[in-house]
Amino acid sequence: MDVLIIGGGIIGLSTAVELAKTQRQVGIVEGGFPSTATPAAAGMLAPGAEQIPAGALLDLCQASLQRYPTWIQDLEERTGKTTGYWPCGILVPVTSQAMGYHRGIWLNRGELDRQQPGLGAQFQGGWWYPDNGQVDNRLLTQVLRHVAQTLGVHFFSQETVVRIEPVGDRITQVVTHQASHQAAHYILTTGAWTQKLLSLPVHPRKGQMLALQAPHAPALNQVVFASAYLVPRRDGRLVVGATNEDVGFQGGITAGGLHSLLERAIHTYPPLQDWPILETWWGYRPVTPDECPILGPSPWENLTLATGHYRNGILLAPITAELIGNYLNGQPWPSELDFCRWNRFASSLELL
Ligand code: GLY
């Protein structure tokens, strides 16, 4: 193999597709961890609505958002399948215009009602982000896997990686419970599980989620993002998220988590209180101390890092794949992305 990617979530899959397009022999080793961030996400493409402060991370998110239409078009044309990509805009209703540091278009209450009838009476107005949107992250994952397979990417599935073995400043192999794998280059895309292999400060941040079935499709005209976010799929399913809990890998739907989610969702959009619950689930966001991802070179010359995308992994997938692809093609790591390098947190790293 030319490249072995450790981790089969959205970042690993997107990077595999990008690299396989240039004739590289690519493998993905994936442990089959439950509750990874990729299937748990809501798929919002929301640099504005997430209120990311102005600066380097917002620039990266905006750059990735701009790549989405062509990135999706290519994936859908290669497979003939939909990803549910929908640049539907995101509406952020607020109780006071002074709240937050929004850069959207201000809608007063009358305009808000025209944009989305039925919102809670507490809202004074809302911020409208017409260029934000959503993708169905589960469909997108299927499409990416399909494209990867078509391009000859080899999946080593249900193989839990035990360790990454170095000799000097090079990685020589990746050892799993079943086998060991060698490649010229390795890419770490292990998200919330990164600390099982490498001493990087990436921690799990649990999110509980649920889905409702609206009596009409779609449930809302666009994504609505208030104290809960409401993401309407085109088929009438409404994805509602999310809790944000610092509880390690403590899984499960809790009474308190579900209660808070439902309370916030009903407060935001009261009509949904009558809709049936279809599903509940949870996942672990990979968070870093500064909430920015860890991208780029590592202390080992043939190990590249792409992890810690926290709340924005679905959004950042296209730009992450492109950056890692450029870097493996011999381009220097861009200095404006130094804010993503691992050494902002530590002076050395240990393989565990
Ligand atoms: N991006 C939404 C979330 O992480 O909950």
pLDDT tens for the 352 residues of the chain, in order: 999 999 999 999 999 999 999 989 999 999 877 778 999 999 999 999 999 999 999 999 999 999 999 999 999 999 999 999 999 999 999 999 887 667 899 999 999 999 999 999 999 999 999 999 999 999 999 999 999 999 999 999 999 999 999 999 999 999 999 999 999 999 999 999 999 999 999 999 999 999 999 999 999 999 999 999 999 999 999 999 999 999 999 999 999 999 999 999 999 999 999 999 999 999 999 999 999 999 999 999 999 999 999 999 999 999 999 999 999 999 999 999 999 999 999 999 999 9
Give the C-alpha separation, 317 to 322, whole Å. 9
Among 126, 129, 124, smallest CA distance to 52 is for 129
Cα 114 to ligand 1 centroid, rounded to whole Å: 26
| Minimum-distance ligand 1 atom for the alpha carbon of 44 | 1
Ligand 1 binding pocket includes 241 (Cβ within 6 Å)? yes
Q: CA-CA distances (angstroms) from residue 239 to 36, 128, 254, 260, 342? A: 17, 19, 18, 15, 33
pLDDT score of 98: 83
Class of domain 3-77+137-202+289-344: alpha beta
Ligand 1 binding pocket includes 257 (Cβ within 6 Å)? no
pLDDT digits (tens, 9 = 90+) for 160-215: 999 999 999 999 999 999 999 999 999 999 999 999 999 999 999 999 999 999 99
If you take atom 2 of ligand 1, which residue's CA is the nearest one?
Answer: 311
pLDDT score of 31: 87
Ligand 1 binding pocket includes 205 (Cβ within 6 Å)? no
pLDDT score of 86: 98
pLDDT score of 94: 96
Ligand 1 binding pocket includes 207 (Cβ within 6 Å)? yes
pLDDT score of 170: 98
Burial per residue of 189-228, b for 16 or more beta-carbon CB atoms within 10 angstroms, e otherwise: bbbbbbbebbebebbbbbbbbbbbebeeebbbebbbbbeb
Its pTM stands at 0.97
Cα 244 to ligand 1 centroid, rounded to whole Å: 8
Return the ∠ at Cα 143 (arms to 84 and 23), rounded to 5°. 140
What residues does each domain of the chain span?
Answer: 3-77+137-202+289-344, 87-133+204-286
Class of domain 87-133+204-286: alpha beta
Give the C-alpha separation, 226 to 213, whole Å. 20
State both tokens at 149: 């397979």
Give the C-alpha separation, 177 to 267, whole Å. 48
pLDDT score of 93: 97
pLDDT score of 137: 98
If you take atom 5 of ligand 1, which residue's CA is the nearest one?
Answer: 242
If you take atom 3 of ligand 1, which residue's CA is the nearest one?
Answer: 311
Q: CA-CA distances (angstroms) from residue 136 to 85, 127, 140, 259, 273? A: 6, 23, 6, 25, 23
